[in-house]
A = this chain, B = another copy of it.
Amino acid sequence: METNWSIRLDTEAQTLGDRAATRLRELIHSGVFAPGQQLPAEPELARRLGVSRPTLRAAVAELIADLLLVRRRGVGTFVATTPHPADGLERLVGTGRGIALLGRRPGTTGLRVRHVVADRSLAGDLRIDPGDPVVHISRTRTADGVPVVHCAEWIPADLLPDPTALDGFGTRDSLYDVLADLGLPVRQAVARFVPVLPDPDLRDRLDVAPDVPVLLLEQRHFPATRADRIVLFSRNWYDTRRIDLQAIRRG
């Protein structure tokens, strides 16, 4: 039986070319297209992915540039034989999905949703006014049952249809999905990297000793639809002994 590789329309922010490239990456990383294997001919691959040939060509060019595919003139296009890492931090995915992409089982402990008002510092981080209402979500993420990152997240309440919209937020839910459902799909985040020593609360949540530095990622998230708003500010503290943090940097 022929496998259908067609593209899931999972975000509004991606072009069809981006999605074709993402789908091809998934097919390579999942081993459907194995290292060294020749890709099907262009018309067949375009048909099975459900995209036009120019769109497929753009996606293939992107993966060649990323060294995942190799073109042999007059022969065809092959999956690179060199082991190469999957995408890293440079690609924005939710923390839970990021854990799953590393081949580990994501979980959540200590989920708490609170209504707060922005102090001067948080107002600056969210580009709102001090005193504005904010919904604050706090949770620790586990990988195969081991705590790997503690997440603190803040969303301006005026972006929500009503202040209680997140009160039923579940341990398996994704804030990115919630924002997409609200018509604010997250397009990109500016992440700041800061190594820190854990305070007592964080030591307890991540089960780390006082002299073990953890990596804080401070992130401001921008939606695809409104460049003027920050829809989510987050602080994620990673125990990098238990979860590998990598990024692909491109020249």
Contacts and interface: CB of A to CB of B under 8 A. Distances in A.
Interface string A210-225: 0101110001001010
A152 interface: no
Contacts of A196: 195, 213
B213 A80 contact: no
Interface residues of A, number: 51
A189 interface: yes
- Number of copies of chain A assembled together: 2
A115 B31 CA distance: 40
Interface string A221-251: 0101001100000000000100011111111
Contact of A90 (B66, B185, B214, B247): B247
A82 interface: yes
Contact of A197 (B187, B190, B213, B247): B213
17 contacts: A11-B251, A15-B65, A82-B228, A88-B191, A89-B249, A91-B250, A93-B251, A186-B251, A188-B248, A189-B248, A190-B247, A191-B247, A191-B249, A193-B193, A193-B240, A196-B213, A213-B213
B82 A247 contact: no
A135 to B, nearest CB: 21
Given A11-B251, A251-B93, A227 B82 contact: yes
Interface in A60-88: 65-67, 70, 80-82, 84-85, 88
A9 interface: no
B89 A250 contact: no
Nearest to A58: B58
A195 B213 contact: yes
Contact of A66 (B91, B188, B248, B250): B188
Contacts of A213: 195-197, 213
Given A67-B188, A89-B90, A176-B251, 10 more contacts: A70-B227, A91-B251, A188-B250, A190-B246, A190-B248, A191-B246, A195-B213, A219-B249, A224-B251, A247-B247
